[in-house]
Amino acid sequence: MSMDQTHDVNLSSWVDGANEHADFPIQNLPFCCFVQGGESKIGVGIGDWVLSVAEIVTLLDSKFHAAVTSDNLKTMMGWSPADRLAFRQRISELLSDGNDELQGNDALRNAALLRQTDVQFVLPCSIGDYTDFYASVYHATNVGSMFRPNNPLLPNYKHVPIGYHGRASSIVMSGADVRRPHGQLSPDAEGGNPNFGPCKLLDYELEVGFFVSQGNELGSQISIDDADDHIFGYCLVNDWSARDIQKWEYQPLGPFLAKSFATTISPWIVTTEALAPFRSPAMVRPNDDPQPLPYLSSDANTAGGLIDLNLVVSIQSEQMRADNIGPTELSRGSFLNMYWTPAQMVTHHSVNGCNLAPGDMMASGTVSGQSRGSRGCLLELTWDGEIGNPVPGTQRTPIQLPTGEERRFLADGDRVVMEGFCERSGHRRIGFGRCEGTILPALY
């Protein structure tokens, strides 16, 4: 994952508008799947366009043909790191200023370059397994303070990357509406009986997702040195959460129906290769924190295990849409606030011999930092910070919307929008596009 000519800040593209695009200049080249004429295809993002790679097979090495003409990204995710790199370099070459193999072929160019607004994005593949981690120590401490005032951060947290097996079937593409779930809701008073009905404390969680590339055999392990090579790329994830269901059900086995009703992902997968210029050191642990066990430690992970990825969450209520008011910002976070790195999550996931496979998805857990403005969910954002402030019936500081509306949790019609971008001096900014979803009222 070293840098090469594809990252050159001076590299430019002949594609209209690509060089000025905030998210998708030629240095990015993220993957997506989209539907065109009833068929699902693989695309690469460039400016406001999607390059339909199946249309340009004649310009690609024959070893890539099966994967690029597939209706999803799973075959491509299973490529070796060397093939992924060769493919990126070839796409970069074809879209670069001065190359006329595609630019000079009117028929091919017109067939291959589609406006993003003219296609419908779909999931990158059928996601086999989905695991959600809990990697921000700030999020874990804040939530722990609310749910377990006497015991906020459990003693295992700094030793083991905590995660749970999520539900892959309810992962939906950005833009899909999300129905407010029903469930058993936490009792109004400690020791009381649960309520049943539509969730009243609906929340989002700002997360970073990543897709497994090559997997491992059942019984084998992925070492920390190899783990980043097993990550195909990254996307934005909204882990919608029903806090009143969660509070009642989460002990002793962890989240279940509070999370499994929907998870939204962004259409674009920004590749591990594209993110090479933005690698950053793993979090420096305070002196009295335990160091990671040897199987979770490497010099490369310490030096570059995280990605300098900025994340922004905005909200737009139904009233705001009616008044033509755009989404208003709720928080701004950084992926540098993770206590555990993606490589540590992958390695830990496989240390017991659990087999990972191309197309599996993992998510980081809520990305929250130390400051109030960097908290990645409403549970934390509207919490007044007092230890032991329980969830139901609590005093919470509401978010003020430009319409005069207030939010402690999500209301029907609210649209949550997540965005992410990497910026570093000497490099071209690249972005992740948008991950958004709108809350529909409960069904009955």
CA atoms within 13 A on the CB side of 321: 10
Q: Is 205 in the site for Mn ion (CB under 5 A)?
A: yes
d(CA 204, CA 258): 11
Q: Is 380 in the site for Mn ion (CB under 5 A)?
A: no
d(CA 234, CA 219): 26
Nearest distance in Å: CB 163, Mn ion: 9
> Which positions from 243 to 272 touch Mn ion by CB under 5 A, shown as an x/- string?
------------------------------
Q: Is 239 in the site for Mn ion (CB under 5 A)?
A: yes
d(CA 303, CA 394): 42
139 labelled catalytic: yes
Nearest distance in Å: CB 205, Mn ion: 4
Nearer to Mn ion, 69 or 170 (CB): 170
Q: Rounded to 5 degrees, what are φ and ψ at 237? A: -130, 135
Nearest distance in Å: CB 255, Mn ion: 8
> What secondary structure does DSSP assign to 253-282, as a single string?
T--STTTTT-EEE-S-BEETTTTGGGEEPP
Q: Is 414 in the site for Mn ion (CB under 5 A)?
A: no
Nearest distance in Å: CB 437, Mn ion: 15
Nearer to Mn ion, 124 or 365 (CB): 365
**Paired tokens of 77:** 């995710």
Taking CB under 5 A as the binding criterion, the range among 114-122, 124-132, 174-182, 219-227 that sits at the site for Mn ion is 124-132
Taking CB under 5 A as the binding criterion, the range among 161-169, 200-208, 295-303, 433-441 that sits at the site for Mn ion is 200-208
Ramachandran bin of 388, using left for φ above 0, alpha for ψ from -120 to 50, beta for the remaining angles: left
Nearer to Mn ion, 76 or 379 (CB): 379
Nearer to Mn ion, 207 or 229 (CB): 207
d(CA 390, CA 150): 12
Please give the residues from 125 up to 164 whose contact with Mn ion meets the rule CB under 5 A.
132
- Exposed (0-12), middle (13-18) or buried (19+): which is 228, by Cβ within 10 Å? buried
Taking CB under 5 A as the binding criterion, the range among 2-10, 99-107, 232-240, 412-420 that sits at the site for Mn ion is 232-240
Q: Is 203 in the site for Mn ion (CB under 5 A)?
A: no
> Active-site residue among 7, 21, 65, 139?
139
Residue nearest to Mn ion (CB): 239
Nearer to Mn ion, 205 or 229 (CB): 205
Give how many residues touch Mn ion by CB under 5 A.
Answer: 3
Pairing of strands 310-316, 328-334: antiparallel
Nearest distance in Å: CB 98, Mn ion: 45
- Exposed (0-12), middle (13-18) or buried (19+): which is 58, by Cβ within 10 Å? exposed
371: number of Cβ within 10 Å: 12
d(CA 87, CA 229): 15
Nearer to Mn ion, 28 or 241 (CB): 241
Nearest distance in Å: CB 363, Mn ion: 6
Q: Rounded to 5 degrees, what are φ and ψ at 64? A: -90, -10
Catalytic machinery residues: 139
Residues of this chain that bind Mn ion (CB under 5 A): 132, 205, 239
